[in-house]
Amino acid sequence: MNKFFGDLHVLKDINLEVPKGQVVVVLGPSGSGKSTLCRAINRLEPINSGEIEVDGQPLPAEGKALAALRAEVGMVFQSFNLFAHKTIVENVMLAPVKVRKVGQDEARKTAMQLLDRVGIANQAQKYPAQLSGGQQQRAAIARALAMKPKVMLFDEPTSALDPEMVQEVLDTMTGLAKEGMTMLVVTHEMGFARRAANRVVFMSDGEIVEDASPDEFFTKPKSDRAKDFLGKILTH
Ligand SMILES: Nc1ncnc2c1ncn2[C@@H]1O[C@H](COP(=O)(O)OP(=O)(O)OP(=O)(O)O)[C@@H](O)[C@H]1O
Ligand SMILES: [Mg+2]
């Protein structure tokens, strides 16, 4: 696919296939197009050419069919965007009730199971502002999972967190990966990339420059752009 913002070509002939159950970490310098790629996959950004398929189904450009297919792609952002005036469990119940027309009781039961899975069942009755950043981000992950997505997209999910809360969110994500969730993760957490990723995609200037196993990428990067990037992040 290709994507332009005016004259700026931000995604250049992107061709990426993520097999079911694979965890792909997307790395690259600021402005290389990582967020735009995630937003395009979720159709939060229209693309100018190309096609996006989820589970073999082309993602429609708009309308009702898009809403249904978009529900299959869960997205977790840097900022948690929880509804401030709803409790944590209500936040997780909201989309299944509104979009999927799941009954209140069932939605609550599923929400509690998900909160348990991300380790914050004891926070269910609190409001977002009463939780730590790490707990809020785990609530946001539970909320995305409530729609039973086929793919989860994470765009720098830990970069707004205090350092001591990063690990709990990464552990939650590692757990998801182990359970077989298909994941595309933009992150600067190289430890997570090494441990949890099946594959590293390196972007620069809107292009996929390298697509390799973590071991290969970190020990034998091929391009100068990747070498330069790794030199900067591994020494900072
Ligand atoms: N809404 C927009 N309008 C115009 N240009 C945009 C818009 N969003 C992003 N861009 C530009 O597109 C390019 C890619 O941005 P993007 O946010 O995808 O980068 P990124 O790799 O996620 O960077 P970072 O690591 O800083 O988050 C940048 O040059 C950016 O300035
Ligand atoms: Mg970004």
CATH code (residue 180): 3.40.50.300
Task: Tell me whether residue 155 is in a domain.
Answer: yes
DSSP 32: S
Tally of domains in the chain: 1
For each successive 10 residues of the chain (236 residues), what is the average pLDDT? 96 97 97 96 91 87 73 89 96 93 96 95 97 95 94 94 91 94 95 94 97 96 95 77
Structure tokens at 159: 């970069």
Do the domain assignments include residue 142?
Answer: yes
Domain contains 2: no
Strand order in the sheet with 199-204: 73-76, 151-155, 182-186, 23-27, 199-204, 207-212
User: Distance of alpha carbon 164 from its chain centroid, rounded?
Assistant: 21
Q: Report pLDDT for 236.
A: 60
CA–CA gap between residue 179 and residue 109 (Å, rounded): 20
Parent domain of 27: 7-53+60-234
pTM, two decimals, is: 0.94
In-domain check, residue 141: yes
Ligand 1 site-directed mutation target among 14, 34, 48, most atoms within 8 Å of CB = 34
| Contact present, 143 and 135 (Cβ < 8 Å) | no
What confidence score (pLDDT) does residue 97 get? 95
**CA 35 to ligand 1 center in whole angstroms:** 7
Q: DSSP string spanning 45-72?
A: S--SB---EETTEEPPSSSHHHHHHHTT
Ligand 2 centroid vs 28 CA: distance in angstroms? Answer: 9
Say what the pLDDT of residue 234 is: 72
